[in-house]
Structure 1
Amino acid sequence: MSGGDAGRVTALFSRSSGGYRFARWGRPLAPALFGFSEIEKPRYAAALAEAARACGLAVVEADPELGRNCLVFMCGAWGELPRIPGLDRLVPDLEKLVSVLKATGANQYRIFGFDEAGAIRICITLLRGDADLRAAPFPLLALSQAAQSMALWSDTAFQAESPVVATGAGAALDPWFESLLGAAYAQDMPPASDDPAHARALAARLCA
């Protein structure tokens, strides 16, 4: 096992507030996209399908429990979010969250919900299309956001690196991250863990 891989994987799932926490999806994705142009929407849907493929996840029209479980909202300003019908029922303390997002200058935020086994049952991605977010080509942006929705990563996971790379065709998952997602979704790996030994098990699979 590579010590570098083990340390890298551990960092990707270690919270800035302390502690290790990993979770993956425990059900197929049922996406719903809001605020995208007619050109952007199918491209984002394709990016979600590509990220799901790397995990061995199916993409379906509806989740039996929730209807849609992978929701993505693109807005021009955070103040638009409270005006979206029903979003306040999905996002606890939406007004307070909007205030925090404004104050920190954030352009993205993800909210995860979990089932009884600790696996992801819902992910809500909030995006503000500012100049920094729009600076990347849309295929690269979409696949990066999709990859970040495939697991409960650390809140600092992608500050210095990206899970995707630019290609002549647009974008692709970075091979190392694609292998990591494949290892994380192996049938004999747990759907959730707060034990750092989980990271060493993932690193061992990468080296194998």
Structure 2
Amino acid sequence: MTNAAAGLPSETVARMFTRADGSYAFARWGRPIVPVVFGVDDATLSVVKGAIEAVVALAGHKMAETDPEIGANVMIFFLRDWDELLSVPDLGRMIDGLDALVARLKARGANQYRTFRFDAEGAIKACFGFCRLDAALAALPADTVALSMAVQTMLGWSDGAFADVAPLAEAKGRAVLRPEIAALLQAAYAPTMPAVARDPSHALRLAARIALATARTEEDE
């Protein structure tokens, strides 16, 4: 089913949370976000944290100074080579099979990777994000990379989540969040929506909210 109203088709929304095995798995954060960023200078650190704060505020979620269970629950690493991860103290304790993961990322020529941890109910409780600054990423403005990473940290997206719709667009020479993706984040974090969903009908509810929000925005304009 495709929504007639402006927004995102429900099929597109469903693909954003459909895994390779065909199962639907949606999850949002179940606790305030506490980020920490490694491998950047102070100026870039400010840009990355600012992007996270902006996206969290847009979604209607919260940030905090510390997570009572694990301190910082969003850890973002910037590096030049994947092998650098092997020398990060205690990272192997947090990321299962770190050696094998590094080998896979190198073999694929990947420049980004993220993995999530979930609480007993299935909501996100931690995210580890890695960004290898290859030539392609290094050529992008820091705010573009930071905004993209912030968006991808907010939900447990599928691997092909943005195959149909890119999360960012350009406005007046700067990267901005696409209105339909902004509406999706707001819909996903609406208080009446579940933090975890396994039924594909959840995508229909998200798409309906996105269509309504988009229609209201167009009316205001």
Task: State the TM-score bracket (shorter-chain normalisation).
Answer: over 0.9
Structure 2 residue 72 is matched with structure 1 residue 68: yes
Q: Partner letter of residue 117 of structure 1? A: E
Contact residue 139 and residue 171 of structure 1 kept, 8 A: yes
Partner of 2:45: 41
Aligned to 2:216: none
Note if 1:2 corresponds to 2:6: no
Asked if the contact 1:184–1:202 (Cα under 8 Å) also holds between the matched residues in 2, the reply is yes
CA RMSD between the two structures: 1.5
Residue 209 (structure 2) aligns with: 205
Cα separation, partners in 2 of 1:115 and 1:153, compared to 1, 3 Å: same
- Where 1:113 maps in the other structure, the secondary structure is strand
Query: Does 2:28 align with 1:24?
Result: yes
Partners in 1 of 2:136 and 2:183 — Cα distance?
28
- How far apart, CA to CA, are the structure 2 residues paired with 1:170 and 1:58? 26
Q: Which amino acid aligns with 1:126?
A: F
Is 1:104 aligned to residue 108 of structure 2?
A: yes
CA distance in 1, matches of 2:144, 2:59: 18
Superposition pairs of residues 143-154 of structure 1, within 5 angstroms: 143-154=147-158
Query: How far apart are residue 55 of structure 1 and its match?
Result: 1.4
How far 1:101 moved relative to its partner?
0.5
Q: TM-score, normalised by structure 2?
A: 0.90
Per-residue CA shift, 1:101-120, capped at 9, x if unaligned?
A: 00111111111000111110
Task: Return the offset for 1:36.
Answer: 1.0
How far did residue 137 of structure 1 move?
1.6
TM-score by length of structure 1 reads 0.95
Q: Which residue of 2 aligns with 1:140?
A: 144
Following superposition, the deviation at residue 38 of structure 1 comes to 1.9
2:82 aligned partner: 78
Structure 2 match to 1:92? 96
Structure 1 unmatched ranges of 5 or more: none
Alpha-carbon offset, residue 164 of structure 1: 1.8
Deviation at residue 166 of structure 1 after TM alignment: 2.5
Superposed CA deviations along residues 82-123 of structure 1, whole A, max 9, x for unmatched, are 101111111111111000100111111111000111110000
Displacement, 1:169?
Answer: 7.2
5+ residue gaps, structure 2, are 213-221
**1:160 deviation in Å?**
4.6
Counterpart in the other structure of 2:199: 195
Q: How far 1:56 sits from its partner (Å)?
A: 1.1
Contact kept? 1:140, 1:166, Cα under 8 Å: no
Amino acid in the other structure paired with 1:10: A
Shift of 1:151: 0.1
Q: Is the 8 A contact 1:21 1:193 kept in 2?
A: yes
